[in-house]
Amino acid sequence: MLKIRIMPTLLYRDSTLVKGVAFDSWRRVGSLMQAVKVYNLRQVDELVFLDISATNQGRRPDFNLVDDFADECFMPLTVGGGVRTVDDVRELLRVGADKVAVNTVAVERPEVIREMAACFGSQCVVVSIDVKKAGNGHETVWTHSGTCDTGLDPVAFALSVERMGAGEILLTDIELDGTMTGYNRELIRKVASAVKIPVIASGGAGSYQDMENVLSAGHASAVAAASIFHFTEQTPIEAKMFLREAGFPMRICRE
């Protein structure tokens, strides 16, 4: 049985880590390198690093930055933000990323997913899908750091990126992001039930119980979280112990 993964998310903007609520990431939360070193010690399964300003600023990923901190990252690393081409993916993998996440370009030029999978394998292709309610009350896919409504249905879009060759989906409820009130289990369940690839639940984790709930009722394959680890005393290793006690297969190293 595949192990359940705990995946802290690091949001990077203007040379520092940030976190907020509902994608309004205004609060500085410390040093990138320090966070990486801390997570090295806490039995994190994978780390997600997202440069949240790159796309809106129209720039490529900061390859030098990734090269610097990837050398200190002793866990699988997913990098996203500003990725537009296969060349961007190639360079990120060269400087230390294990997987590459795409978001806006997956909507604007979805064939890039197929190109990435053909060149590097589906296992390194993560499509980040950000969702919130539109004016009509229906949940739709949003791009450009949650500022542009595409009108796309999340389930239909998830199925399309799976057909294109995506290896995983990082699924975030924008409105729950940073609230620590629990994941959108219904959204995650609908997407996870429709696709055969792993769905990583993101947006809203405030407790270990929230993680258990989205794994059991939401059928997620992994849980991503940020605020719970930035702003509370809860830790990834404690989350893994809690989930193991709840019956989930976890990767826990003996000290």
Q: Identify the CA nearest to 35 among candidates 11, 13, 6, 51.
A: 11
Read off the pTM. 0.96
- Per the prediction, the chain carries an average pLDDT of 95
Cα–Cα distance between 144 and 134 in angstroms, integer? 15
Q: Spell out the domain ranges in the chain.
A: 5-245
Tens-place pLDDT, residues 83-123: 999 999 999 999 999 999 999 999 999 999 999 999 999 99
Is the pLDDT at 2 greater than 90? The verdict is no
CATH class assigned to 5-245 = alpha beta
- Read off the amino acid at residue 132: K
